[in-house]
Amino acid sequence: MISRGRRFSAARAYVHPVKSRRNLDVRYRVLVTKIDFEGTRATGVTYRGTNGAEHRVRAAEVILCGGAFNSPQVLQLSGVGDADQLKALDIAPVQHLPGVGANLEDHLAVQLQHACTQPISMLGTKSKLDWPRIGLQWLVGRRGDGATNLFEAGGFIRSTDEAQYPDVMVVLAPFARQFDPDKQVEGPGYLMCVDTLVTEGRGTVKIASTDPTAYPKIQFNYLESERDRRDWATALRIGRAILDQPAFREFDGREVVPGPEIQTDEELVDWVARTGQTGLHPTSTCRMGDGEMAVVDPMSMRVHGIDGLRVVDGSVFPSCTNASTYSPVMMVAEKSADVILGNTTRASASILRRRLTSALRRLRRRPDLDGAHPVGGAAVRGGLLRPHGELLGTALAANASHHRERHGQDGPLDQQHDAELDDDDLDEAPGVHVLRGDQRHQTERHQQEQGGQQLAQRARRLLFLEYLVQKALARADENLCHDERDCGTEREHEHVTADVTVHGT
Ligand SMILES: Cc1cc2nc3c(=O)[nH]c(=O)nc-3n(C[C@H](O)[C@H](O)[C@H](O)COP(=O)(O)OP(=O)(O)OC[C@H]3O[C@@H](n4cnc5c(N)ncnc54)[C@H](O)[C@@H]3O)c2cc1C
C-alpha cells in the first residue's frame, strides 16, 4: 500500500508504532538458523548475528513467520519435515510432517508490451540521469514518478462463464522495460502484466544442505497440467483483447511482446514457458488443515505434533488466493493474533464495545457540538445513545430528502417512529438527516433559519456516526448472545481452554 507517496509496509504499520515497548526486542539483520527442541517441544531459536556469532533465545513459544520459502526451510533445518528427506541430509527428525515444503503454489506472470505512439509513458524512470530529479521530487513533496508503484490500474476477470471466481488478474503500467530476452520496446511503451490465478501445478521447497545460508531448492511446476496450459492461452487472448480496445487506439504503436507472430495456443504457451516469471505470490508450503499433508492446525496455528511452535505467514494458506497475497497475509496474521491471544468472537465484541463507547464519550465532549447543530448536539449529548444493549428507542433516519425520493413526501419515515431504517436506506444515504418525525421538522426549520449548511452537515455527520456506533454495539450484542447460546464447536472451546492455560502459566 502507498500512503502519502510512501510504501506503508507491515513493519511500519505494526512494529514501528510499538517498538519502544519494554517487552519488545526487535533484532535486525539476523538469520534464524534453527528452532531448538526438547523432544517435541520448541524451546527457543538459534540465530546468527551480523558478525556470524550464534545466539540462542529461550522461549515458552515460538511463532515462525519466515514466509513461504523460509518457514519450511527453517522447519526442515530443525528436523520438522519429511523424515526420509531429513535423514538423507543427516538431520534427526523431530516430527515427520511430509507437508513441510510441499504444495507450493504461486501465480505465474507474463507481460504483454506495446509501443506507445505518444511520449507520455514513464520512460524517464529508465534513464539513470533522471533518477536524481525523481528522488528530489519525492523527498521534497512525496510526489512524482517516485511516489507511484507504477502499476496503477488493473482488474480481475472470469475467463469463462463457468469460472465461479475471477481466475485472471491484469495490471497495467505506463512503461515497458525488457521482459522478453528476444525483443524489446524501443522508446515509449506500456505493458499489461497477466497472471493466471487458479492453477493445478503444485511445487516444492526442499533444503539441499544443512547450511542455513544455502538456498533451498524451489520447484514450482508451473504449466504442469493440461488445464493450466489451456488457461494460459485463454488469459493471453483476454489480455490482448483488452489492449485492443478503442480507448488505447490513440496511444497504440503495436504489440511488441510477445509480438503478432505468436498466435496459436501452442505458440502462446511456449512463449509463457520461455518468458514467464514468478508473480511473487508463493504460498501453502506449511498449509493449514487436517490430514497427512497438513502442517498447521487452523484452529490454533500450532504445528501438528509439536508443542510451543506456531506458523503464521503466507505458507499456511490452504491454497493460494485468487488475488495478490499481501492483504490475505495480513488477514491471516490479524486472525492468528486473536487466536493466539484467546480473543474469541466474544472477546472481540467486548473490545469493540469498549472502543466504541470511548469514541462516543469523546464525541459527546466536543465543545463545538451544540454550536454545530443545537438539535443534533442536544440529541447526541442528551443520551440518545444509551448504554450498550438498548437499541435506540427513536427512529434513526437516513437523509430525509433521499428517503422522500424513495418513498414519497409522506413515506414511511413519519410512520416508523421507533423503527430502524432498513439497510438499503442506509447504504444509499449520503448522511443521516433527521432523528424522528418531530425532530425532523425542528431540524429542518433550524437549518433554514441558520442557513448554516456547513454546520448542519457536521451535525448530520455526528448523528450518522452515532447511528453506526449504536448499530455496531447492537451487532456486538447479537454476537455475544449468539456466542453464549450456541456459538463455537467443541473443538473451538478445547483450543480456547488450551490457550488460556498456556497464557495463564
Ligand atoms: C518484490 C515483491 C513484490 C510484491 N508485490 C506485491 C503486491 O504488489 N501486492 C501483493 O499483494 N503482494 C505482493 N507481493 C507478495 C507479498 O509481499 C507476500 O505475499 C507477503 O509479503 C508474504 O508475507 P509473509 O509474511 O508470508 O512473508 P514475507 O513478507 O516474506 O516475510 C518473511 C520475513 O521473514 C524474514 N526471514 C525469513 N527467514 C528468516 C530467517 N531464517 N531468519 C530471520 N528472518 C527471516 C524475511 O526477511 C522476511 O522479512 C510481492 C512480493 C515481492 C517479493
CATH of the domain at 18: 3.50.50.60
- Asked whether residue 20 falls in the same domain as residue 164, the answer is no
Among all chains, which residue has been given the C-alpha cell 510512501? 6
Does 249 reside within a domain? yes
pLDDT given at position 368: 64
Q: How does pLDDT run across 182-215, given as a tens digit for each residue?
A: 999 998 999 999 999 999 999 999 999 999 999 9
Handedness of CA 229, 230, 233, 235 (dihedral sign): negative
Q: Which residue numbers are catalytic? A: 281
Which stretch of 412-416, 439-443, 463-467, 498-502 has the lowest confidence by average pLDDT? 498-502
Mean pLDDT of the chain: 79
What is the residue with the minimal CA distance to atom 13 of ligand 1? 326
Residue nearest to atom 31 of ligand 1 (CA): 67
Residues 266 and 119 in one domain: yes
Q: Evaluate whether residue 501 is within a structural domain.
A: no
In a domain, residue 504? The reply is no
Q: Are residues 422 and 471 in the same domain?
A: yes
How open is the CA angle 319-86-40, to the nearest 5 degrees? Answer: 80
- Which residues line the pocket of ligand 1, CB cutoff 6 A? 31-32, 65-68, 70, 74, 280-281, 313-314, 324-327, 329
More confident residue, 364 or 155: 155
- Ligand 1 atom index nearest CA of 313: 26
Name the residue at shortest CA distance from atom 45 of ligand 1: 66
Whole-number pLDDT of residue 328: 97
113 and 237 housed in the same domain? yes
In a domain, 496, yes or no: no
Nine-digit cell at 157?
476477470
Cis peptide before 258 (omega within 30 of 0): yes
Of all protein residues, the one whose alpha carbon is nearest to atom 34 of ligand 1 is 66
> Do the beta carbons of residue 286 and residue 295 sit within 8 Å?
yes
Specify the ligand 1 atom closest to the Cα of 71. Answer: 38
Say how many Å lie between the CA of residue 461 and the centre of ligand 1: 40
Are 114 and 237 part of one and the same domain? yes
Of 346 and 308, the one with more pLDDT = 308
Q: What is the percent of the chain with per-residue pLDDT over 70, rounded to a whole number?
A: 68
**CA 401 to centroid of ligand 1, rounded, Å:** 49
Q: Which domain holds residue 268?
A: 108-204+214-276
The predicted-structure confidence for 410-428, as pLDDT tens digits, reads as follows: 433 333 322 333 333 333 3
Cell numbers at 320, concatenated: 493460494
227: number of Cβ within 10 Å: 12
Q: Is the dihedral of CA 130, 136, 137, 139 positive or negative?
A: positive
User: Are residue 258 and residue 288 in the same domain, yes or no?
Assistant: no
| Domain shared by 364 and 464, yes or no | yes
Q: Does some domain include residue 370?
A: yes
Single out the residue in 228, 257, 276 at which a domain terminates: 276
Let me know whether 409 and 472 are in one domain. yes
Residue closest by Cα to atom 50 of ligand 1: 280
Residue 135 lies in a domain: yes
Q: Is the pLDDT of residue 391 over 60?
A: no
The answer, yes or no, to whether residue 431 has pLDDT greater than 50, is: no
- How far is Cα 144 from Cα 451, in angstroms, rounded to an integer? 42
Residues 258 and 130 in one domain: yes
Q: What is the mean pLDDT of residues 102-120?
A: 96
Task: Tell me which of 257, 276, 295 is where a domain ends.
Answer: 276
361 & 470 share domain: yes
pLDDT at 266: 98
Ligand 1 midpoint to CA 499 (Å): 28
Give the model's pLDDT for residue 363.
65
Distance of CA 279 from the midpoint of ligand 1 (Å): 12
323 by Cβ neighbours in 10 Å (0-12 / 13-18 / 19+) ranks as middle
**443 Ramachandran zone, left/alpha/beta (phi>0; psi -120 to 50):** alpha
Dihedral of the CA atoms 242, 243, 249, 251 (nearest 10)?
Answer: 140
User: Bridge partners of 277?
Assistant: 109
Cell numbers given for 359: 469514541
Atom of ligand 1 nearest to the CA of 212: 41
Kindly state whether residue 494 falls inside one of the protein's structural domains.
no
In angstroms, the CA 80 to CA 62 distance is 14
Do 368 and 476 belong to one domain? yes
Residue finishing a domain among 246, 276, 306: 276
pLDDT at site 369: 59
* Cell 486473536, located at residue: 338
Q: Hey, which of 321, 325, 332 would you mutate to test ligand 1's pocket, going by the most ligand atoms within 8 Å of its Cβ?
A: 325
pLDDT in tens, 7-20: 888 999 999 999 99
Q: Which atom of ligand 1 is closest in space to residue 324's alpha carbon?
A: 11
* Residue 28 CA from chain centroid, whole number: 25
Are 272 and 391 within one domain? Answer: no
Q: Give me ligand 1 centre to Cα 67, in Å.
A: 6
Banded model confidence at residue 446, pLDDT cuts 50, 70, 90: low
pLDDT of residue 501: 23
Residue 127 — very low, low, confident or very high, per pLDDT cuts 50/70/90?
confident
Q: What is the pTM of this model?
A: 0.73
Q: Please give the average per-residue pLDDT across 242-266, as a whole number.
A: 97
Range of lowest pLDDT (52-61, 174-183, 347-356, 453-462): 453-462
Highest mean pLDDT among 391-405, 426-440, 447-461: 447-461
The domain that holds 150 is classified in CATH as 3.30.410.40
- pLDDT-wise least confident of 117-121, 247-251, 369-373, 440-444: 440-444
124: in domain: yes
* Structural domain count, the chain: 3
